[in-house]
Amino acid sequence: MKKLNITFCSFPDFSSNAKALYEYMKNRYKDNMNLIWAVSSDDMLKKLKAENIETYKIGNADYYEKMKEVDVFFTTHCNLLNEKNENSIYVELWHGISPKQVGYMSDNMLDFDKEWYENAKERVDYIILPSDFWRVIFATRFNIEYSRTLSLGYPKFNYIINPKAKENLRTVLNEYVSDFNKIIYYMPTFRKGCNRGQEAQVNVNNIFNIQEYKEEELFKFLEENNYLLCIKKHPSEELDLKYTASKNVRVIEEKALSDNNLTVNDILDAADLMITDYSSLGIEFVFLNKPVVYLTNDIEEYKKNRGFTFGNIDFWMPGYQVKNINQLKDGITDSFSENFKYKEEFKKKKELWFSNLKDGGCDKICDYFFDGYLLKEKLKGKGIGVVGTLKARVDELSKILDEKNEVIAQREARIKELDDFIAQIINSKGWKFLEGIRKIGKPFKK
């Protein structure tokens, strides 16, 4: 029996929802499926191969050959759209659920973004999401049929719920973290690129990009309460934030995570509170039943340049919205109290965003797509998505029509050629002489 070829891809390499689903499938299916990774870096290629994981570097000759054999793609950024063919199923796990205007929900899509989303619309068969609420959002963002969105899970929640998170954080920071009363993460959003137009200017001269910033006041607050503040910048953005060194402030480097085979999801549960602006992590952290404090200093500028789904930012922020250092300290303090102001609102949002999801839902995802070690019958031959299938059929028929038109054109040219030849004969002197003889000979026959 031919084994299914299942290919995974993520950004950063070997991370996020793709990694979580891969590890679940590796444990569930053992060696009964060929589980393959496509990566961008030479370092990760070497690293995964050393772990006996079948891995190919995107762009290499052997990569293109292998992609022709893929039965199912699982990606986080629509990374391998161009390798999709009519015999494969393309499943997008995505990488973040956020309030931002994305795709066709954006008021001012750039031409480049339109092309990208059109390509995704034609090739992605299914998008996996954590609840029906997100199905509506993503069907609109990608401008696809609602039936191509599935509320089955969010695989990286398998990592987010992690009893070893503090141990992992200690490894990444190379120091003890259990000595602190509370651990606070600051993880801001990605501010450049797709759909962003003119971006808000980030003030790198203070950690939180807020007003009335007093660093000594922040450090005193952290020290008095014995809090550890960990800063993690977005992997696509390297902002050189300026601040004075302190035992209560640490930076989580992407390289330190990668070197230890970890991602931000492996350490998320170590924090007691998240500080963010408009990042999807602010929503994902709610899944852990832990508070979030939102930095909204540049919210009007961000609304103008990027925008929010539904427009009402309060809907997306079941916690304190702060713009200066005093509001930040007060928000942190109340978020840790028994009488947390947003407790009920927080609970309602968790139910809406994640429904009854208890983990990453990898079992539901696999049950939907596979019957034992095989692709389910209902999915066979269903590749490319509805729009892509129709486009492929139109292209096929157009090619056939072009071929038939070419044959017709050749025949018409031949007929014209014969008509011209016959006309030349009829108009020739020899033909006219023969016609004259035929006319003279007619009376004798009578």
* pLDDT (tens digit per residue) in 413-445: 888 888 777 877 777 777 677 777 776 765 555
Whether the CA torsion 200, 203, 204, 208 is positive or negative: it is: negative
Q: Report the pLDDT averaged over residues 243-257.
A: 85
End-to-end CA distance of the chain: 87
Least confident of 97-101, 134-138, 139-143, 227-231: 97-101
Nearest to 187 by CA among 283, 273, 274: 274
At residue 119, the pLDDT reads 95
Crossing angle (nearest 10°) for helices 132-141 and 343-354: 70
Residue 57 — φ and ψ, nearest 5°? -85, 130
Least confident of 334-338, 386-390, 410-414: 386-390
Element of type H or E holding 370: strand 370-371
Share of the chain above pLDDT 90, in %: 63
DSSP strand pairing (374-375 vs 370-371):
antiparallel
Q: Report the pLDDT averaged over residues 32-44.
A: 97
Q: Report the pLDDT averaged over residues 77-102.
A: 93
The beta-strand segments (E) located in 67-204 are 72-75, 89-92, 126-129, 149-151, 182-186
Q: Report the pLDDT averaged over residues 61-72.
A: 97
At residue 442, the pLDDT reads 58
Share of the chain above pLDDT 70, in %: 87
Q: Report the pLDDT averaged over residues 232-253.
A: 73
Give 314-328 pLDDT, tens digit per residue: 999 999 999 999 999
Rounded distance between C-alpha atoms, residue 322 and residue 307, angstroms:
19
* Distance (Å) of CA 403 to CA 147, 389, 408, 413: 36, 21, 9, 15
CB contact at 8 A, 328 and 322: yes
| Cα atoms in the Cβ-side hemisphere of radius 13 Å centred on 232 | 26
Q: Report the pLDDT averaged over residues 109-120.
A: 93
Reduced to 3 states (helix: H, G, I; strand: E, B; else coil), residue 295 is strand
CB contact at 8 A, 275 and 208: yes
Give 171-228 pLDDT, tens digit per residue: 999 999 999 999 999 998 754 543 444 444 555 557 787 777 788 899 999 999 999 9
Rounded to the nearest 10°, the torsion over CA 321, 327, 328, 332 is -90
* Distance (Å) of CA 248 to CA 183, 422, 434: 10, 99, 114
DSSP strand pairing (89-92 vs 126-129):
parallel
Return the structure tokens found at 269. Answer: 């549960």
The pTM is what? 0.79
Q: Report the pLDDT averaged over residues 122-129.
A: 96
Rounded distance between C-alpha atoms, residue 124 and residue 80, angstroms:
10
Rounded to the nearest 10°, the torsion over CA 431, 432, 435, 439 is -170
* Distance (Å) of CA 158 to CA 15, 111, 287, 347, 433: 12, 37, 11, 20, 98
pLDDT tops 60 at residue 103: yes
Nearest to 210 by CA among 82, 327, 109: 327
Domains and CATH numbers, the chain: 5-156+363-383 (3.40.50.11820), 161-355 (3.40.50.12580)
Give 258-304 pLDDT, tens digit per residue: 889 888 999 999 999 999 998 889 999 999 999 999 999 888 888 88
CB contact at 8 A, 188 and 210: no
CB contact at 8 A, 256 and 295: no
At residue 167, the pLDDT reads 97
Rounded distance between C-alpha atoms, residue 76 and residue 81, angstroms:
11
Average confidence score pLDDT of the chain: 88
Rounded distance between C-alpha atoms, residue 55 and residue 115, angstroms:
29
* CB crowding 207-227: b at 16 or more within 10 Å, else e: bbbbeebebeebbebbeebeb
| Cα atoms in the Cβ-side hemisphere of radius 13 Å centred on 427 | 6
